[in-house]
């Protein structure tokens, strides 16, 4: 009689939850795109709430497009419901990754912060999340502390540069 398989530790489950929501390609893409949407909305919005609404609505449209694309490419093999459910699970990171910036914008709106300051603070939150993701990637690769810090900083700078580039194109 073999011993029952151990269930994953609580930490392993938390990591798995975090990975799906923040450390997936869709999440990183969503984070960068949301930062660009905030910057774009900053140009024409009359309030922080308008920035938040515009950026969030745009991100939801991109999420729907992602789910549609996933469903279209997978439903022949797995069925429509399963493909749609998997598309939503796969793309959920796009929405989750925007949460820190959304919270920053809500805080900015509640405290009466200017649109420019709210946009800057949102970009800093994006920078921080990207830094943490980069740091984590370098830690997992076994880099020493200095390498992790430089890697996290470079990751954050590149991600913010991409968001600014996307803004400049639009």
Q: Is residue 65 part of a domain?
A: yes
Best CA proximity match to 125, nearest among 164, 96, 98, 106: 98
Q: Is residue 29 part of a domain?
A: yes
Per the listing, tokens 């810090």 go with: 149
Q: Is residue 163 part of a domain?
A: yes
Dihedral angle of Cα 112, 113, 115, 119, to the nearest 10 degrees = -130
**CA 4 to the chain's CA centroid:** 37
Q: Is residue 67 part of a domain?
A: yes
Q: How many whole angstroms separate alpha carbon 7 and alpha carbon 46?
A: 51
Domains of the chain: total: 1
Q: How many CA atoms lie within 13 A of 166 on its CB side?
A: 19
Q: How many whole angstroms separate alpha carbon 34 and alpha carbon 49?
A: 15
Q: Is residue 3 part of a domain?
A: no
CB atoms within 10 A of CB 16: 11
Q: Is residue 141 part of a domain?
A: yes
Q: Is residue 1 part of a domain?
A: no
Q: Residue 149 class from Cβ within 10 Å (0-12 exposed, 13-18 middle, 19+ buried)? A: middle
Quote the pLDDT of residue 125: 95
Q: Is residue 5 part of a domain?
A: no
Q: How does pLDDT run along the chain (170 residues), one tens digit per residue?
A: 555 556 678 888 887 777 767 778 888 889 999 999 999 999 999 999 999 999 999 999 999 999 999 999 988 888 899 999 999 988 888 999 899 999 999 999 999 999 999 999 999 999 999 998 899 889 989 999 999 999 999 999 999 999 889 888 87
Q: How many whole angstroms separate alpha carbon 120 and alpha carbon 115?
A: 9
Best CA proximity match to 156, nearest among 120, 132, 122: 132
Q: Give the domain extent around 139.
A: 21-169
């Amino acid at each position: 009689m073999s011993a029952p398989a151990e269930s994953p530790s609580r930490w392993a489950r938390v990591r798995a939850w975090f990975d799906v929501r923040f450390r997936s390609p869709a999440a990183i893409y969503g984070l960068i795109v949301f930062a660009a949407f905030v910057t774009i909305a900053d140009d024409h919005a009359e309030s922080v709430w308008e920035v938040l609404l515009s950026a969030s609505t745009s991100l939801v449209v991109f999420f729907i497009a992602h789910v549609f694309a996933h469903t279209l490419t997978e439903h022949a093999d797995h069925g429509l419901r399963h493909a749609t459910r998997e598309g939503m699970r796969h793309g959920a990171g796009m929405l989750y990754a925007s949460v820190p910036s959304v919270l920053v914008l809500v805080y900015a709106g509640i405290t009466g912060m200017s649109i420019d300051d709210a946009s800057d603070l949102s970009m800093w939150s994006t920078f921080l999340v990207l830094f943490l993701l980069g740091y984590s990637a370098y830690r997992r690769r076994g880099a020493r502390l200095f390498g992790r810090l430089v890697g996290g900083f470079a990751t954050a700078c590149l991600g913010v540069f991409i968001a600014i580039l996307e803004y400049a194109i639009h």
